[in-house]
Amino acid sequence: MIQSSTFSIQTERLQQRILALAAIGRMGETGVCRLALSKEDYEGVQLVKSWMEEIGLQARIDDFGNLIGRMEGRNPTAPILMLGSHIDSQPYGGRFDGAIGVLGALEVVQTLIEASFTPEMPIEVVAFCDEEGCRFNKGLFGSRGMMGKLEDGELERTDKQGVTRREALISFGCDPERFDDSQYPEGSIATFLELHIEQGPVLESKGASIGIVTGIAGPLWLTVEMVGVAGHTGSVPMNLRQDALVGAAKVIIGLNELARSEPGAPTVGTVGSLTVFPDSRNIIPEKISFTVDLRDIDLDRRHRLEEKLVTLLDDVADEHGLTYTVREDTNSEPRYCAEWVKNIMREQAADLGLTVPELMSGPFHDSLVLSYFCDYGMIFVRSQAGISHNPQEFSSPEDIGCGTELLYRTVRHIASQPQRSESHE
């Protein structure tokens, strides 16, 4: 571990902001529930906006709910160097997921301002709206909106209380009729950098504070609905039942086995949400809806597993007299970080005296969306015990400071140079 006294950024100031933001939507001692477009999210956005304005950034909330703070560059029309992440949380979340990427970026820009550094291009710090996707069951909303990549029907998606995304946006102060005004033109963003906790155990296993991300695994999100026939649990013989929950259970177990089928592969498969209708102890379940989250860095392997999952659904439906439908919610290919950005990070890490591991990201991030529009790079910060999406999530102030310092030095290097990039297709 390098000494924070050698840092340009102020670790203590950053930590104070992390804790202040974590107090909004606090659960117990260390948990956070700050769902996208909720009153807690609004309060968090307003707090971060006030910090942006205090240091002299031009801050605004766009009609997708994104918070954007802008530092002008020497050439105000040059493509933007964008930094950031998100501050919305899971329902049972922690203090660091997303938040360190926004607040670390804010610390980077404040340090540049305090050093009287003028970047060659504008720098924008962004807290993207609804990265998590847990409230309306589809994430990366703000970043996709900004890039003009929303899908039909997204505003009609509802949360568990029946509130539509459109209604939530309007309550947040946004105007869905003016989305076009908040979209970024093609080519207007040069590079995107994101600092994030790892959310896994790799860095801790290597004894490393931070890591350089090489790319993001491609997530496939599905919603499966299986339908059978309801009946009285006491009167319908077992051999005549069309029990949708039994069928769903077999599919869920089968997905787990498929994800484990190739030893050593980074494939992961999860069913994280399930609903039962009519949800009564003495009625045979008629309809089951469950989510599928399948991820891999090898797209061909993921496709093969998806085909096997469909075969499994067919077999189970035939065996139990069920019908089923599958809705695709998210489908992204793996996206790799720009080599020139990784090279700068490697050089700056070496100057800090760090040997930095390089690793893939299994979880998706807003970087995944930005990768289709500009070059991108990511820095991971060690997660204690690999825990995330949990109140026990923890990254030390020292590790977060280390990641933020590497981000600062990377930003300063990029912002000192004429525009450059490689193809992001």
Does 104 score more than 50 pLDDT?
Answer: yes
> C-alpha 384: how far from its chain's center?
19
**Distance of alpha carbon 79 from alpha carbon 188, whole angstroms:** 5
**Distance of alpha carbon 350 from alpha carbon 163, whole angstroms:** 50
DSSP SS3 for 161: coil
% the chain with pLDDT above 90: 92
**pLDDT per position as a tens digit, 339-387:** 999 999 999 999 999 989 999 998 889 999 999 999 999 999 999 999 9
> C-alpha 57: how far from its chain's center?
25
Judge whether 97 and 16 are in contact, CB under 8 Å. no
**pLDDT per position as a tens digit, 223-266:** 999 999 999 999 999 999 999 999 999 999 999 999 999 998 88
Which DSSP state fits 135?
A: T
Check residue 266 and give its pLDDT. Answer: 84
Contacts with 92 (C-beta within 8 Å, 6 or more apart), sequence order: 27, 31, 33, 389, 390, 391
**Distance of alpha carbon 414 from alpha carbon 399, whole angstroms:** 23
Residue type at 384 in one-letter notation: Q
Does 51 score more than 70 pLDDT?
Answer: yes
Give the tokens for residue 409: 């030095």
**Distance of alpha carbon 174 from alpha carbon 166, whole angstroms:** 9
**pLDDT per position as a tens digit, 110-127:** 999 999 999 999 999 999
Check residue 419 and give its pLDDT. Answer: 67
Secondary element (H or E) of residue 258: helix 244-259
Check residue 2 and give its pLDDT. Answer: 67
